[in-house]
Amino acid sequence: MNLILLILVYITLPVILIWLTIKYSFFKKLGSVVLAYALGIIIANIGILPKASDAFLRETVGKDRAYVPKQEAAGLYTTGTFTQKDVTANNIASIQDSVQSALIPLALSLILFSLSVRRWLKFSGKGFLSMILALISVSIIVATGYLLFGEKVAEGNKVAGMLIGTYTGGSINMAALAIALKVQPHTFIMTNTYDMIIGGITILFFITAGPRFFRFFLPPFKADISRDSENLDIKQMEKQMAEDFDDYSGIFRKGIILPLIGALGLSILIFGIGIGVYLLLPKVSPTISIILTVTTLGVAASFIPKIRNIKKSYQLGMYFITAFSLVIASRCDLSVFFQIRYIYILLFVTWAYFGSLILHCFLSWIFKVDADDFLVTTTGFVYSPPFVPMVAAALKNRDVILTGLATGIIGWIVGNYLGVIFSVWLGKI
C-alpha cells in the first residue's frame, strides 16, 4: 500500500507544482522543474522514506546501480547483510527506477509532437551558422574536458554524453540521456545541480550586461527585410509561440483534453515500438534503443499536421518532465553529495559550460556571426526555447525570437543522438 501511495504522490505533486508556477510569479520564475528538484531532495532527506544502511549504499551506489535485483536482495537479507529497512528501501528504489524510466520516453514524444521543423528552419537565418559553430564548440570542449576530468568522474563518459545533450537542447535532453545511458541518480542530480547553478549565473549575465558585452566585438545585427514579403504576421506568430511554452490554460476543456489523450496514447504506442526495436537489436542497450527510437518517431510524427496541431502536447510533456525531476531527486541522499568524486563533476561542468561558450564566441567572430544571433542561439541551445523570448527582450530585438526558437528546437532533436554517440565513443578511449 505504501508503494501505491508513493506512486500517487509522484503523479499528483507535479500538478500542484505547475499550478504554483501559474498562480504565483515568484514560483514561475523558479519553474516547476526546479521546484520538483527541491521538493524531491527534501523528501529524500527528512525521513519520509526509509533510511538505508551503509551496506545498501555499498551494494547500490558503490556498484553504480539503482537497486539490487529481488532475488539478490532476498539473499542479502537472509545472510543478515540487509535489514528490513534495506529491503523496503530497495523495493522503493525499484519502483522509482521503473517510474522514471517510463516518464522520459512519454515526455519526449509529446514535446516533439508539437514541433514544426520546416517552419523553424525557414526562420533560422544566420542563426543556422551560429548553431553549427555551437555544435562544433561543445563537441570539442566536452571531448577535451573528458580527457582532463573523465578518469576522476564516476561514469565520466556518461556525464560527457549528458553535457553534450544539455548544451545542444537543455535539461530535457539531459533527462533523456540520463535514462538512455543509465546514469546513477546521484551523478545525474549533481551534474544537473551544478549546471543549474552555473547556468543561472550565466543567464543573469545574458539578460543584463551580455548584450552590450557581446556587441562590443561581434558584428551588429542586420534585419532581414525579405520578411516583409511573407504572408504571415511575424510579430503575432512570435508572440503566440513564446507564450505557448508556459500556457496551461484550458488544458482540461473537452476540445483539448480528448485529442491530448490521443496524443498520450500515441506516445505510449511509440514507447512500445521502442521496446520492440530493442528486442530486435538485443546487443544494443535497451534504454539507448528506446530513447533514440522515441526521438526519431516523435520528430516523424510532428510532420503530420493532425498530430502537430494537437494543443498542449508540449505542456503535457513538461508535466512528465516535472514528475521525472521529482522522482529522481527523491532518490538523492545529501550525505553522498559531499564525496570528493563529485568535485570533479563541478570542474567538468564548468569547463564544458564556459569553454564551449568562449570557443563558440571566438568562432562567431571569425565567421562574422552578429552578436544578437550568437546570444539567442546560445540561449536556445543551452537553456532551451522557453528562455529565448527573455533574452530577445534584453536584446530589444524581436526579430531573433524565431531564430532562437528554431535552433533550440533543432537542439532538442540532435542532442539525444550526439549525447549517445559521444558517450559510447569516449567510453572506448
Residue 268 CA to its chain's centroid (Å): 20
Residue stretches of the chain with pLDDT short of 70: 1-2, 61-64, 119-126, 223-246, 335-341
8: which 3 cell numbers? 500517487
Query: Which residues are within 8 A (CB) of 65 and not within 5 positions of it... i.e. 6 or more apart?
Result: 184
Position 223 scores a pLDDT of 61
339 Ramachandran zone, left/alpha/beta (phi>0; psi -120 to 50): beta
Burial class for 424, CB neighbours closer than 10 Å (0-12, 13-18, 19+): middle
What is the 8-class DSSP label of residue 1? -
Question: Which sequence spans correspond to the domains of the chain?
Answer: 2-223+321-427
Query: In the prediction, which pLDDT does 5 show?
Result: 82
- Asked if residues 169 and 408 have their Cβ atoms less than 8 Å apart, the reply is yes
DSSP label at residue 402:
H
Q: Which of 381, 384, 371, 373 is nearest to 210 (CA)?
A: 371
Please, are residues 370 and 126 in contact by the beta-carbon 8 Å criterion?
Answer: yes
pLDDT at position 240, please? 52
Measured in Å, how far apart are the chain's first and last C-alpha atoms?
47
CA dist 166 and 160 (Å) reads 10
* Rounded Cα–Cα distance for residues 170 and 405 (Å): 12
CA distances from 392 to 129, 396, 403 (A): 18, 6, 10
How is residue 173 annotated by DSSP? H
Among 23, 18, 66, smallest CA distance to 39 is for 18
Q: Could you tell me which residues come within 8 angstroms of residue 132 by beta carbon, excluding any fewer than 6 positions away?
A: none
Spatial separation of the C-alpha atoms in residues 422 and 163, rounded to whole Å: 10
Choose among 123, 205, 144, 137: nearest CA to 366.
Answer: 137
State residue 126's pLDDT score. 64
Summarised one tens digit per residue, pLDDT across range 367-388 is 998 998 899 889 888 887 777 7
CA-wise closest residue to 173 among 343, 333, 380: 380
Listing DSSP states for 71-117 in one string gives HHHHHHHHTTSS-HHHHHHHHHHHHHHHHHHHHHHHHHHHHHHT--H
Tell me what pLDDT residue 246 has. 65
Radius of gyration of the CA atoms of the chain, in A: 22
Task: Give the DSSP H/E element, type plus range, for residue 348.
Answer: helix 341-366
Q: 386 and 170 in contact (C-beta within 8 Å)?
A: no
Give me the pLDDT at residue 120, please: 63
Quick one: pLDDT at residue 84? 87
Q: Are 301 and 8 in contact (CB under 8 A)?
A: no
With 0-12 CB in 10 A as exposed, 13-18 as middle and 19+ as buried, what is 365?
A: middle
Look at residue 265 in the predicted model and tell me its pLDDT: 95
Which grid coordinates are listed for 243?
507564450
218 DSSP assignment? S
pLDDT of res. 338 = 63
The C-alpha atoms of residue 407 and residue 366 are separated, in whole angstroms, by: 20
- Residue pointed to by grid coordinates 547500490: 60
> How crowded is residue 231: how many other Cβ atoms within 10 Å of its Cβ?
4
